[in-house]
Amino acid sequence: MPIPSAVPSRAELIDHLIRTRIAGDVATPRENNLSHYRKLANGDRHYWLGLELGDRWTDEQDVLAVMAERCGVVDDPEHRSGQDTIDPELTVGALDRMASVLRKAAEAKERVLFATGHPGGLLEVHRATAAALRAAGCEIVEIPGGLQADEGYVFQFCDVAMLERGATLWHTHSPAPMAAILDGLAHEGRPLPDLVVADHGWAGCAGQRGIDAVGYADCNDPALFLGESEGTLSVVVPLDDHVTSPRFYDPMTAYLLDAAGLTAQF
């Protein structure tokens, strides 16, 4: 599948998102989405992604309504199986809002921390964004050494924090690695980040601790969208966070950085 080499227009990006199934008819089935919404509503903290939701989201239908509004899943509660969707217009709209946050961070030379629980899909998105902000004069936060969480090590590669177990980059929804970073910075007497750019529990934990946080989330990860609706996270971009090639995210990243007035560092 050809990948655009230049910064795409909005229309070109939407077409690309649909063709690569980053948005549009995505691979995550409806059954999986509804199962996760139900588990979140039933209080399963694995699906809270580091946020403290209390008893505010105990109705699965309320969760579905937010996901339809902010992610673009099918809003019909009777649609129980088969295809589900992410609205590419919502994806690009959220990218534009994230670009505004990144632009302000660059102008203020903020301290920015990048992290991912989806290294197989989003590592390069975060790396390129970190490189662009570093080139603009931001401080990319260096995490403390020797951090451990969830029976693994928290380390930084290409300016992006991740969880490692047994020499393998780990897919994780857990907020514990981000908690380890923030606690480690505080223990060393170092300032916390002004901004966190992340996903999964890494973003949820940062937002819950009062740090300005933006991130990416799939249609089966409702917690971050609930956090955005409550103002705990500033921006959440809806997308399929692990498509068949990580290169498919390159046009999206180029669009984001161009909208933020940053020079892409691929």
Mean pLDDT of all residues in 249-264: 95
**What values do phi and psi take at 158, rounded to 5?**
55, 40
For tokens 């050494």, name the residue. 145
In terms of Cα–Cα distance, which of 222, 215, 170, 171 is closest to 32? 222
* pLDDT tens profile 14-23: 999 999 999 9
Mean pLDDT of all residues in 83-110: 98
Q: What is the identity of the amino acid at 153?
A: Y
pTM of the model: 0.96
Q: Is 188 exposed, middle or buried (0-12, 13-18, 19+ CB in 10 A)?
A: exposed
Alpha-carbon torsion angle 140, 223, 247, 171, nearest 10: 80
Which of the four pLDDT bands, split at 50, 70 and 90, describes residue 90? very high
In terms of Cα–Cα distance, which of 126, 135, 113 is closest to 191? 113
Residue 208 has pLDDT above 70, yes or no: yes
* pLDDT tens profile 136-173: 999 999 999 999 999 999 999 999 999 999 989 999 99
Residue 62 has pLDDT above 80, yes or no: yes
